[in-house]
Amino acid sequence: MEERDKRLAVLIDAENVSLKYIKYILDEVSNYGIATYKRAYGDWTNPTTYNWKEAVLKNSITPVQQYSYTQGKNSSDSAMIIDAMDILYTGSVDGFCLVSSDSDFTKLAARLREAGMLVIGMGEKKTVEAFRASCTQFKYLEMLAAEEDQGSSVDIDEIEETILKIINDNEANDRDTSVGELGNKIINRHADFDVRNFGYSKLSKFLESIKSIRLKQIGDTIIVYPAESGVSREHVENLVRKLVSQSPDRTMMLPELKQKIEKQIPTFNIRDYKYSKFSRFINELDGMRVSGNQVYME
Question: Cα(167)–Cα(182) distance, rounded to whole angstroms?
Answer: 8
Question: In this predicted structure, which of 57-61, 142-146, 287-291 has the lowest mean pLDDT?
Answer: 142-146
Beta bridge partners of 118: 95
Q: Sheet containing 177-178: which strands, arranged edge to edge? A: 177-178, 221-226, 213-218
Cα separation, 204 vs 55, in Å, equals: 36
Q: What is the average pLDDT value for the chain, to the nearest integer?
A: 85
* pTM exceeds 0.75, yes or no: no
Mean pLDDT confidence for 11-35 = 89
174 CB neighbour count, 10 Å cutoff: 7
Q: Could you tell me the pLDDT band of residue 76, with boundaries at 50, 70 and 90?
A: low
- pLDDT tens for 87-142 read 999 999 999 999 999 888 999 999 999 999 999 999 998 999 999 999 999 999 98
Residue 241 has pLDDT above 60, yes or no: yes
